[in-house]
Amino acid sequence: MAKKDPKPSTRKPGQRRISRSLFVFAFDILIVWLAFFVALWARFDFSIDLIPKVYLETYVFIIPIWCVLTVAVFGLFRLYRSVWTYVSIDEACTMMIAYLVLIVCFIVTKFALDVHMPRSFYAIGIVLAFGMHLGLRFSYRLLRFLLRGARRRNSERAGETENVMVIGGGAAGSIIIRELKNDSHQNKRPVCIIDDNPNKIGKYLYGIPIVGDRNSIVERVAEYNVGTIIFAIPTASAADRKNILNICKDTGAKLRTLPGMYQLANGEVSVSRLKDVELTDLLGREPITIDNNEVFQMITGKTILVTGGGGSIGSELCRQIAAHHPKQLIIFDIYENNAYEIQQELLRKYKNNLNLVTLIGSVRNTHRISSVMMQYKPDIVFHAAAHKHVPLMEESPNEAIKNNVMGTYKTATAAAEAGVKTFVLISTDKAVNPTNLMGASKRICEMIIQMMNRRDTVTNFVAVRFGNVLGSNGSVVPLFKKQIAEGGPVTVTDKNITRFFMTIPEAVSLVLQASQYAKGGEIFVLDMGEPVKIDDLARNLIKLSGYTPDVDIKIEYTGLRPGEKLYEEKLMDEEGMQTTNNKLIFIGKPIEMDDAWFRTKLNELDRDSREDDENIKKYVQEIVPTYKPGSF
C-alpha cells in the first residue's frame, strides 16, 4: 500500500519564524548562565565548595540582568534574523560589535549596581559566552557541511560524482568553485583550476589546487579524470577565449561557460548561469559594436516599420528598436504566429511604454503594403521579409521571384510614394556571383534598391549584405545540434565547403549602423573575419557536446545541393570597397545599369512568375549574367 503524503504543516511562516527565534533566545540565555558560571567555577579551581557564598549570591543576582541585556543587544543588531544556512564572516563581525556594546553594558551595570566579582570572572565569562554564541550560529552550517561531505563521499563511492576543471582562478572562478563545493545536489566536484597567471600556479583556492596554465589543460584533464570543464573568465578577449576553448574541445570533456562579462559586473555569477559552449565562442573575433548614441538619436521619436518582423532578423530588429523609444513601431509579417510571439514579448516587456502596431499582410500584395505605408507614414523601413532557404527556392523559383523580387519592388515603391526617409534592404552574401535562385533573387533586390535610389524621391535606399547567421531559423547550427541530440549522423554537404558566419545581434547591429550611414544607393558589407569550414564547425560542435567525431557521432557527406557553391564572396569585382567609420563595415559602390531596361525586365519577371513559367531561371539569368543555374 502506498504511503500517504505527510500532513502539511498548518503553521504560517511568521509562526515558524517566532518559534525559531524563541528557541535561539532560550539558548542565548542558557549560554550566558553557563559561560559565567564556568568562569566563576574556573576561578576557584573548578570546585564549587571553594566559591565564597557572596560570589554565588552576586552571580544569581546579576546574571538575569545580563541575559536580558544580551537578548536586547542581539535583537538590536538583528542577530535573530540571520539565515543560518548562509551565516558567514559578516555575522561574526556583527557579533563582535554586539559584544563590544555588551561589554559597555556589563561595566555600566557593575558600577551602577555596585557589583563586586573577581576580574577573571568578567574576562573568562565574556570570552566563553562570545565563543559559544558564535558557535551556536555556525553550528547549523557546520552540520550541513558534514552531511554534505558524507553525501558527496557516498556519491563518489557509487560513481555518481563528476570531476570538474575550472578555467580561471579569479572572482568568477572562485564563486563557481564555492557554489560547487557547497551544493551536494550538483553531483559535480571541482578538482583542479587552470590559470595563466604564473604567480597563482601551485596555490589553492577554496582547497582546490591551481595546477597549471592553458598549455597543461589536456594533460590535467587526463590526470584528474575531468568530465566537465567550466570556462570562468568572463573578461577574456575573443582571441583568448577561442584559443583556450580550442584546446578544451580536444579533451573530450563537456564544456560550459559564463555568458559574458556583464554577469560578473551584475553579481550574477553562479552555476545556474552557466551555459553550454556555443560555436559563437569559437569565432575568434570581437563582436561587432555600434555607436549606440548615434542609433539612439536616429530611432528615438521615429515611426519605424519592419517587414518580416517575426523572423530571426526582423524580431531582433524589433527588440533593439523598441529599446530606443521609437514614436511608433510597426511589425508587418505574413506569418501570424511569428508576429504574435514578438508582439507579446514586447508588450510584456514595455507594456504601455511602447506604441506598437502588429499587422498581418504580404509584401506581394501591392494594395496592402501601399495602404500601410500611406496610413502610418514610417520614417524608416527595414525590409526583412523574404524567402531564404536555398534548396526550397530551387524547387519553387517562381515563389522566390514573387516574394523576394516583386515583394521588394512593391514595398520600395510604396515607401517612396509615402515619403519614407530611409529604406534598408536585408540582403545576403549569396547575392554575389550567385549560383542559386535565392541568391540571384536577392541580387535583383539590390539592383532594385539602387535603381529606386536614382529616382527623384526623398527616400534613401540602401542594402545590407551579410553571411550566415548563427542560430537563425533554418541555419546549420540548430540542425547540427538536433542531429547530435538524436545520436547522429551529422550531415555535411561537402568536406571543403566554407561560409562566413555572424551572430544575430551582430547582424542587427550592422543593419542599424547602415541606416545611420545611409546616404542612398550603398550596399553595406560586414567584414566577418575568415570563412569557416562547415566540416570543422560540425566536428567542433560534436566535441563541445562531449563526443568524439566519427566515433560517438558519425559525419556523413551528402554532396552539394542544387544551386549551392563551395564558398561565398562578399563583393563582386566591379563593386570595389570603401571603408566607413566602423572599420568592420564596408560599402560596395553602385553598379551602373540601364534603369529603363531593368524596369521592363522586372515587369516581365512579374508576369512570368505569376504564370509559373518554367523558364523563370533563364529569365533571371538575363538580368543577372553572373548567375549560373546549376553551376555547382
Burial annotation 121-141 (CB, 10 A radius, 16+ → b, else e):
bbebbbebbbebbbeebeeeb
Instruction: Select, from the ranges 26-40, 45-59, 400-414, 471-485, the one with the highest average predicted confidence (pLDDT).
Output: 400-414
- Euclidean distance between CA atoms 488 and 80, whole angstroms: 57
Domains 161-277 and 298-470+501-528+572-623 fall in the same CATH topology: yes
Residues β-bridged to residue 585: 526
What's the CA gap between 109 and 76, in Å, rounded? Answer: 19
| Widest distance between CA atoms in the chain | 121
Percent of the chain clearing pLDDT 90 (strictly above): 29
Give dist(CA 558, CA 438) in Å, integer: 21
Q: Is the pTM of this model over 0.85?
A: no
Domain residue spans of the chain: 18-153, 161-277, 298-470+501-528+572-623
Confidence of residue 488 (pLDDT cuts 50, 70, 90): confident
Q: What is the mean pLDDT of the segment spanning 544-558? A: 83
The CATH architecture one would assign to domain 161-277 is: 3-Layer(aba) Sandwich (3.40)
Range scoring the smallest mean pLDDT among 348-357, 369-378, 396-405, 489-498: 489-498
C-alpha of 629 from chain center: 41
Catalytic choice (302, 388, 410, 430): 430
Q: Would the CA dihedral through 572, 573, 575, 580 be positive or negative?
A: positive
**164 contacts: CB under 8 Å, gap ≥ 6:** 180, 188, 189, 190, 191, 226, 227, 228, 229, 230
Q: What is the pLDDT of residues 211-238, one digit of tens each?
A: 999 999 999 998 998 988 988 887 787 7
Interacting residues of 60 by C-beta distance below 8 A, sequence separation 6+: none
Residue 1's pLDDT is 39
Written out in words, the top-level CATH class of the domain with range 298-470+501-528+572-623 is alpha beta
pLDDT band at 157 (very low <50, low <70, confident <90, very high): low
User: In this model, does residue 587 exceed pLDDT 90?
Assistant: no
Q: Which residues contact 603 (CB under 8 A, 6 or more apart)?
A: none
pLDDT of 94 over the 70 cut: yes
* Annotation marks residue 275 as catalytic: no
Backbone angles phi, psi at 296, to 5 degrees: -60, -45
Highest mean pLDDT among 1-15, 331-345, 542-556: 331-345
| pLDDT tens sequence across 313-369 | 899 899 989 988 999 999 999 999 999 999 999 999 998 899 999 999 999 999 999
Residues above pLDDT 70, as percent of the chain: 78
Query: What pLDDT score does 153 carry?
Result: 58
Cell reading at 216:
597543461
The whole-angstrom separation of Cα 610 and Cα 398 is: 7
Q: Which residue has the cell 590526470?
A: 223
Q: Which amino acid is at 373?
A: M
Measured between alpha carbons, how far is 109 from 106 in angstroms, rounded to an integer? Answer: 5
pLDDT for the residue 356: 96
282 vs 200, more confident = 200
pLDDT tens for 242-273 read: 788 888 877 878 888 765 433 333 444 444 44
Instruction: Give the whole-angstrom CA distance, residue 363 versus residue 384.
Output: 10
Classify strands 460-466 and 422-428 as parallel, antiparallel or unpaired: parallel
Instruction: Give the pLDDT confidence score for residue 513 in this predicted structure.
Output: 77
List phi, psi (to 5°) of 283. -65, -30
The whole-angstrom separation of Cα 149 and Cα 323 is 48
